[in-house]
Amino acid sequence: MSPLNAQANFAKMRPRLIRRALQQLARGAGVRENFEGQLSRFFDMLEQALETGDTAWMDAIILEWVSSKTQTDIAEGQKNATALLTILFTLATETAREEMNAEEALDAITAVQPIFTYALDKAARLEMENRVAYFANEIASVQQKLEQLDRSKSNFISVAAHELKTPLTLIEGYTSMMRDSSSDPNSESDPLLNGVRTGIQRLRQIVDDMIDVSLIDNNMLSLNSQPLWLSHILDMLQKNLNDTIKERCLNLEIKKFPGSQDWLYADPERLYQAFQNLLTNGIKYTPDGGSLAVDGRTLPGFVEVTFTDTGIGISPEDQERIFEKFGQLGRADLHSSSKVKFKGGGPGLGLSITRGIIEAHGGTIWVESEGYDEKNCPGSTFHILLPVRTESADPRLSKLFGDLTKPKEEKNVEKETRINPPAS
């Protein structure tokens, strides 16, 4: 059959087809009137496409249907353009079968099918693009809300920390005056004064952490870089944590790993703080009798330090979250009575500060753990990658220490800087 015949046959069944489509798709007089207009336009375009053999005639109406804000504009209900086109094609097939003999019906359907296929493909693509744009928009707005929330958190921490600092300093001052002015020669062991002192120290620690978090949030953490050996810092930590380790019947092994006794520029106090946070966490989340180990290796341009424990572990879905501020996990049985007791909880600032310190050094930190299991204790390993800086950004320090990669005899660094070498 020629396209002209197909067109004539299609024109014949058009009024019936429109009636059926209206019955099926549009309820209510207002919707029906509007939809009837749109259907007429659709079939006008379809006839043009049939006549010319150019499917692009359908573009305008498809674009209009896809971008119509609510689908009630074109049909009542939640139908989208692709669903609507599918229904129209089914109705066209049924109507052709009813209105024409088998051969004419087959010809008419065969003629319109490529046009419907083109229209469906176009509508599906446009709808997908619309959907992607919609979700991209939603994501951007959620992101904006999260950033706002993060800013509020930061502001809160910063204001709270600075407001608490002054009264805390006053309390510290008055308590030490009370101790000094006490006529009791045993005031040092007064349990009441000691209780107050422990409470103040804990509060001071929290306020200091809050100040550090707000410095990191505002990119204001400044490093005081000096030449150091990582093993030196780790040895000091081992000494300072010795009593706690004993008290908790833990075993702490700090290995002398490649790179730990090479000079590099970093901030010793801040690194001490970062390593201490990781070790005290290891102590806190490992049951009595467990083990902690510090090891490492050199990589091109970096030194890697690992902190491993045989503790309760961290589930994969929490391994990113714990580095966020207030990233403590909602475990019901945590208690905040102590910084080192098993499962002694905290405000959840330690790892966020640790990450801030490591990133300020140009390094990175992550954790690996098989998961959280208090019975089998799969343990966790925190990895730190630190860039090995052998030249200082400060020209005065460079002049003083020279190039750290040169052998020690040449620079005589130890004599000049009075930095003690680590105990071997």
Out of 56, 136, 329, 393, name the contact with ligand ADP by CB under 6 A.
329
Please report whether residue 358 would count as binding ligand ADP according to CB under 6 A.
no
Residues 87 to 146 in contact with ligand ADP, rule: CB under 6 A: none
Strand-pair category, 251-254 with 226-228: unpaired
Residues in contact with ligand ADP, shown as a per-residue x/- string from 218 to 257 under the rule CB under 6 A: ----------------------------------------
Give yes or no for residue 322 binding ligand ADP (CB under 6 A). yes
* CA-atom Rg of the chain in angstroms: 37
Does position 3 interact with ligand ADP (CB under 6 A)? The reply is no
Comparing CB distances to ligand ADP, the nearer of 227 and 313 is 313
Q: How many binding residues for ligand ADP (CB under 6 A)?
A: 22
Single out the residue of 9, 55, 214, 281 in contact with ligand ADP (rule: CB under 6 A).
281
Kindly state the smallest distance separating residue 300's Cβ from ligand ADP, in Å: 28
256 and 238 Cβ atoms separated by less than 8 Å: no
Among 170, 237, 267, 166, CA closest to 207: 166
Pick 250 or 351: Cβ nearer ligand ADP: 351
Instruction: Pick the closer one to ligand ADP by CB: 227 or 356.
Output: 356
User: Quick one: 196 or 334, whose CB is closer to ligand ADP?
Assistant: 334
Q: How far is the CB of 59 from ligand ADP (least distance, A)?
A: 56
Q: Does 376 contact ligand ADP by CB under 6 A?
A: no
314 makes contact with ligand ADP (CB under 6 A): yes
Q: By beta-carbon distance, which residue lies closest to ligand ADP?
A: 346
Contact residues for ligand ADP, defined by CB under 6 A:
277, 281-282, 285, 309, 311-314, 322, 327-329, 345-352, 380
